C-alpha cells in the first residue's frame, strides 16, 4: 500500500497537460467488442479503471494491449459473454459491457457492478431500456442474465438523463434492426465522443449532446483508430489546486465549454481565468471567497465528480457556502477527513454547509473514493504543515501520475510505499 506525503503551503506555476478522459475511454474500450476488426484507442492513461477494463476484455477472449501509449484491441477471438464477478465488482463501468455483449453475442451475464462507494447508483434505467430493445432479463443471486434472439429498435424515454444508460442504449442499438430514438438522453461531452467513435466505425448515430438521440441500426461495424477527448474532471482538479494554493498555471487539452460552470465558480472565488481554444490559464492569490451555492447537476450543470474538490476549496475560503449533491446520496464520506484538518462542515442529507476557515492544517487522512481522495490531496496542498493521504488505490482509478504532475507545478508531494 502507498501513501502521499504532502507539505502544504506552496504556490503552483507551470503547464499541465490533461490526460484522455476516463469517462470516455471506458465506454470506448467496452465498444471495441462490437467489431471483429482491430480497434485502437489512442493516448489511454494507465489508470486502474482502464487496466481493469482491458482485463475484462481479455477474459472475454479479446486481445487488449498497450502499444506506445495507445491501447490496441483485437476481439476477433472473443467468445465469452460472461464477466467475472471479481472484476465487475471493482469497476462500475463494467455495466457498459451489457450493451456491447448483447450486440455481439445476444447474451450477457454480469455481476452487479461496483466502483466507488458513493451511493446505490441503481441500474434500473439500463435494464428497462434494454427490455425495450427486446432483451429478456433475469436477476438472481447477485447476477444479471440477459438474452435476446434479435435486438429491435425502439423509442425509449429516460426518466433521468443517465450517462451510463444512454451509453448502454447506444451500444445495444447500434446494430439493432430498425431505428432507436432516445428521449431525455444525457448530454455529457463523453456521450458525444462515443457517437464520434461509433460513427467512425460505420454506425449511424446522431443527436448526441442534445436531449434526443437517433440510432439507425447497421449490419456491421469496422475497425477504427480514435483519440478520445481530454478529461474535464482532471483539468478541473488541477485548476482548483491552483486556486487553493495560489499561483498561475495553464491547463491544456480541454475545451473551456466542457467546464464552463466551474470556470464561473472559480471567478466567483476571486480567481482570474483566461480561456481560449483548448488552453485555460488561471491566476489565484490564494485568498479565496466562498461560493454562495454549488449544486451538482447533469451536464451542462456543475459536475458531481468535482463536488468534493469544490468543497475542499471552499473549506479554506472566506465566508460560507452551501453544497448541494443532487446525483448521489452518499458522496460526502470525505467530509470527516476534511474536519480532521480543521474544516468546518456540517452535512444534512444532500446538503453540506461549509464555513470557511483561515487555514486548514496537516493531518493523517484516508481516501475513501476517487474524487473524495482527490479533494483530500487538494486540501493538503493548501494546508499548513504536512499531511499523509492513505489508500491511494481509489485515486489511482482516475488520475495517472498525479504526484508527478503536481510536483512539476511546484508542489511538494511524494508517493511512499508503506
Could you report the per-residue pLDDT of 334-376, keeping only the tens digit for each?
Answer: 999 999 999 999 999 999 999 999 999 999 999 999 999 999 9
* Preceding amide of 300 cis, omega within 30: yes
Q: Is the CB of residue 371 less than 8 Å from the CB of residue 305?
A: yes
Per the DSSP assignment, residues forming a β-bridge with 214 are: 181, 206
Average pLDDT over residues 310-328: 96
Lowest mean pLDDT among 117-121, 164-168, 235-239, 323-327: 117-121
Q: How confident is the model at residue 93 (pLDDT cuts 50, 70, 90)?
A: low
Q: Is the predicted pLDDT of residue 260 greater than 60, yes or no?
A: yes
Instruction: Note the pLDDT tens digit of each residue in 50-90.
Output: 999 999 999 999 999 999 999 999 999 999 898 877 777 77
pTM, to two decimals: 0.95
Q: Taking a C-beta distance cutoff of 8 angstroms, is the pair 35, 247 a contact?
A: no
pLDDT beyond 90 at 173: yes
Residue 171 has pLDDT above 70, yes or no: yes
Query: What pLDDT, on a 0 to 100 scale, did the predictor assign at position 342?
Result: 98
pLDDT digits (tens, 9 = 90+) for 279-307: 999 999 999 999 999 999 999 999 999 99
Backbone angles phi, psi at 269, to 5 degrees: -70, -15
C-alpha cell at 234: 482532471
Q: To which residue does cell 439493432 refer?
A: 176
**pLDDT score recorded for residue 362:** 97
How far apart are the C-alpha atoms of 50 and 28, rounded to whole Å?
10
The predicted model gives 200-205 an average pLDDT of 98
Quote the pLDDT of residue 61: 95
Domains, in order of start, for the chain: 2-18+230-417 (3.65.10.10), 22-226 (3.65.10.10)
- pLDDT for residue 117: 42
The span from the CA of 382 to the CA of 380, in Å, is 5
Contact 183, 211 (CB under 8 A): yes
Hunting for cell 472565488 — which residue is that?
Answer: 269
Q: What is the pLDDT of residue 55?
A: 93
Identify the residue whose cell numbers are 467496452: 30
Q: What is the pLDDT, as a whole number, of residue 92?
A: 67
- Identify the pLDDT of residue 96: 78
Residue 194 has pLDDT above 90, yes or no: yes
Mean pLDDT for all residues in the chain: 94
- For the cut 50, the answer to whether the pLDDT of residue 119 exceeds it is no
Q: What is the pLDDT of residue 87?
A: 74
Q: Residue 82: its pLDDT value, please?
A: 87
pLDDT at position 83, please?
85
More confident residue, 290 or 141: 290
| Eight-class DSSP state of 95 | G
Per-residue pLDDT band at 143 (split at 50, 70, 90): confident
| Average pLDDT estimate for 294-322 | 97
Task: Say if residue 114's pLDDT is above 90.
Answer: no
Which DSSP category does 409 fall into?
A: T
Q: DSSP letters along 156-214, please?
A: EE-SS--HHHHHHHHHHHTTSBSEEEEES----HHHHHHHHHHHHTT-EEE-TTSSEEE
Q: Is the pLDDT of residue 135 over 80?
A: yes
Q: How confident is the model at residue 120 (pLDDT cuts 50, 70, 90)?
A: very low
Length of the chain: 418
Q: Which of 237, 391, 249, 243 is nearest to 315 (CA)?
A: 243
The percentage of residues in the chain with a pLDDT greater than 70, rounded to a whole number, is 97
Place of cell 432516445: 182
Q: How many CA atoms lie within 13 A of 397 on its CB side?
A: 21
Dist. CA 280–CA 252, nearest whole Å: 6
Q: All 3 cell numbers of residue 400?
A: 495517472
Mean pLDDT of 12-35: 97
Coil, strand, or helix at residue 66? strand
Q: φ and ψ at 279, to 5 degrees?
A: -120, 130
| Residue 67 annotated among the catalytic residues of the structure | no
Q: Which of 116, 146, 271, 290 is catalytic?
A: 116
Please tell me which residue, 300 or 143, carries the higher pLDDT value. Answer: 300
Specify the pairing of strand 136-140 against strand 107-111. Answer: unpaired
C-alpha to C-alpha distance for 62 and 272, rounded to whole angstroms: 48
Amino acid at each position: 500500500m502507498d501513501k502521499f506525503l504532502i507539505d502544504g503551503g506552496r504556490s503552483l506555476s507551470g503547464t499541465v497537460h490533461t490526460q484522455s478522459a476516463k469517462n470516455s475511454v471506458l465506454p470506448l474500450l467496452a465498444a471495441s467488442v462490437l467489431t471483429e476488426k482491430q480497434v485502437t484507442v489512442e493516448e489511454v492513461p494507465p489508470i486502474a479503471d482502464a487496466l481493469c477494463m482491458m482485463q475484462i476484455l481479455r477474459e472475454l477472449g479479446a486481445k487488449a494491449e498497450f502499444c506506445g501509449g495507445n491501447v490496441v484491441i483485437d476481439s476477433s477471438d472473443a467468445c465469452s459473454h460472461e464477466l467475472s464477478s471479481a472484476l465487475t465488482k471493482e469497476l462500475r463501468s463494467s455495466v457498459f459491457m451489457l450493451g456491447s455483449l448483447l450486440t455481439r453475442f445476444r447474451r450477457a451475464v454480469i455481476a452487479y457492478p461496483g466502483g466507488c462507494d458513493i451511493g446505490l447508483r441503481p441500474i434500473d434505467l439500463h435494464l428497462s431500456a434494454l427490455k425495450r430493445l427486446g432483451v429478456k432479463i433475469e436477476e438472481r443471486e447477485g447476477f444479471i442474465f440477459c438474452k435476446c434472439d434479435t435486438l429491435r429498435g425502439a423509442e425509449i424515454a429516460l426518466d433521468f438523463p443517465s450517462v451510463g444508460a444512454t451509453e448502454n442504449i447506444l451500444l445495444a442499438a447500434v446494430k439493432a434492426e430498425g431505428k432507436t430514438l432516445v428521449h431525455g438522453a444525457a448530454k455529457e461531452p463523453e456521450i458525444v465522443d462515443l457517437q464520434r467513435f461509433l460513427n467512425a466505425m460505420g454506425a449511424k448515430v446522431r443527436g448526441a449532446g442534445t436531449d434526443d438521440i437517433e440510432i439507425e441500426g447497421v449490419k456491421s461495424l469496422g475497425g477504427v483508430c480514435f483519440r478520445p477527448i481530454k478529461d474535464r474532471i482532471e483539468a478541473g482538479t488541477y485548476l482548483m489546486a491552483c486556486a487553493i494554493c495560489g499561483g498561475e498555471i495553464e491547463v491544456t487539452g480541454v475545451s473551456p465549454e466542457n467546464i464552463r460552470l466551474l470556470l464561473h465558480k472559480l471567478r466567483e472565488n476571486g480567481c482570474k481565468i483566461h480561456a481560449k481554444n483548448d488552453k485555460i490559464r488561471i491566476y489565484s492569490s490564494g485568498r479565496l471567497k466562498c461560493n454562495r451555492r454549488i449544486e451538482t447537476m447533469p451536464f451542462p450543470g456543475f459536475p458531481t465528480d468535482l463536488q468534493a474538490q469544490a468543497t475542499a476549496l471552499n473549506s479554506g475560503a472566506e465566508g460560507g457556502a452551501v453544497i448541494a449533491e443532487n446525483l448521489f446520496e452518499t458522496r460526502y464520506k470525505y467530509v470527516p477527513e476534511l474536519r480532521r484538518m480543521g474544516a468546518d462542515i456540517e452535512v444534512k442529507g444532500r446538503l453540506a454547509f461549509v464555513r470557511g476557515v483561515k487555514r486548514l492544517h496537516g493531518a493523517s487522512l484516508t481516501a475513501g473514493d476517487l474524487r473524495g481522495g482527490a479533494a483530500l490531496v487538494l486540501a493538503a496542498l493548501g494546508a499548513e504543515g504536512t499531511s499523509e493521504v492513505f489508500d491511494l488505490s481509489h485515486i489511482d482509478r482516475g488520475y495517472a501520475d498525479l504526484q508527478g504532475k503536481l510536483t512539476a507545478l511546484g508542489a511538494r508531494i511524494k508517493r511512499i510505499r508503506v
